[in-house]
Homo-oligomer: A and B are copies of this chain.
Amino acid sequence: MTRIAVDAMSGDHGAPVAVEAVMASLRAHPDLEIIVVGDADALNKEIARHRKADVGDRLTVQHAAEVVGMCESPARSLRQKKDSSMRVSINLVQQGSASACVSAGNTGALMATARFVLKTLAGIDRPAIVSPIPSRRGHTLMLDLGANAECTPEQLFQFAVMGAVLAEAVHSVDSPRVGLLNIGAEEMKGNVQIQQAGKLIGDSELNYIGFVEGDDIYIGDVDVVVCDGFVGNVALKTSEGLGKLIAQFLREEFSRNALTRTAALFAMPVLRAFRRRVDPRQYNGATFIGLQGTVIKSHGDADAVAFASAIDVARMEVEQQVPERIRTLLAHSLGE
């Protein structure tokens, strides 16, 4: 049995979406138990809208009176909202009542609370945010995506270890290729930190393939791309922006006049297949990695399909014992 706590109140859509995702996950995985956390009345009402028979007693409700706002400051929510659905979900992991938690709440508050309550693994200075990015040959894991604006070479090395564990454990990549994000043509004399990180990773037992550039993320010749959270966040947001721009340009071109709208009818099935392939919902669920416990961040405006993907990420990481494996590989890589 894998038991996961789901913060059902945070995020843009709250309980209805979270509960629908929870029901779907429980039906798909008979070995899964879920504790939904939030306002008990609201949650029970929402659960009553679904057929509960086929999930049996694998679904329980844990009351939490407060909700962390999507724009609330991490420090404030940490200090003042000790009975929030977010905090209670993480507490359940800390107490051992759940092995992982999933929340669509605000990233800063979730990270601050997770760090405060769960603490980092031994040998890990700071947790990182990691997520799969679609590539030509499947996907690439990238970290850090925004938790740490500035990183030491040691932290970048720890990210490399954590990314490699995730690629191997959850994405079934044998001896994952680890690359360090850098810029190409220039002399780079300034950036000592990346040179040193390269040396640390190169000297370890990881399958280090050296520096990679921004376009390599999407080519698929590297399994884990390591960078600081500033660069990673900019790369991620830039990609989101470009993706939306291209989608809009395609829509505009296909709706320009009667002729192009006819073409759209013919092209529709193909465009739908294309869309499924790049559907960000299947990539929903970023891991806060490096904590004593598994915390998965769902996108704030995730629908039920996307939210269920995030629950699935949590389930797989628990089953594959990701935190334990990080501890082992880290000790091994440092020659302990």
Interchain residue pairs with CB less than 8 A apart (8) = A108-B186, A111-B186, A213-B233, A214-B238, A239-B239, A246-B278, A249-B278, A260-B270
CB contact between A266 and one of B213, B216, B219, B266 (< 8 Å): that residue: B266
For this chain, the copies found in one complex come to: 2
CB contact between A235 and one of B111, B214, B250, B254 (< 8 Å): that residue: B214
CB contact between A274 and one of B214, B234, B253 (< 8 Å): that residue: B253
Residue numbers in B under 8 Å from A248 (CB-CB): 136
Per the CB 8 Å criterion, the residue count for chain A at the interface is 68
Residue numbers in B under 8 Å from A273 (CB-CB): 253, 256, 260
Residue numbers in B under 8 Å from A213 (CB-CB): 233-234, 237
Other A-B pairs, 7, CB within 8 Å; known A146-B183, A249-B277, A267-B270: A108-B187, A111-B186, A219-B245, A242-B242, A246-B278, A260-B270, A260-B273
CB contact between A186 and one of B107, B186, B244 (< 8 Å): that residue: B107
CB contact between A269 and one of B107, B148, B260 (< 8 Å): that residue: B260
Residue numbers in B under 8 Å from A256 (CB-CB): 270, 273
- Nearest-neighbour CB distance to chain B for A71, whole angstroms, equals 9
A135 touches B245 (CB 8 A): yes
A234 touches B181 (CB 8 A): yes
A188 at the interface (CB under 8 A from B): yes
Does more than half of chain A's interface fall in helix, strand or loop, or is it mixed?
helix
A74 at the interface (CB under 8 A from B): yes
A215 touches B244 (CB 8 A): yes
B274 touches A263 (CB 8 A): no
A191 at the interface (CB under 8 A from B): yes
Residues of chain A in range 212-254 having any CB-CB distance to chain B below 8 Å:
213-219, 227, 229-231, 233-246, 248-250, 253-254
B214 touches A233 (CB 8 A): yes
Residue numbers in B under 8 Å from A218 (CB-CB): 238, 241-242, 244-245
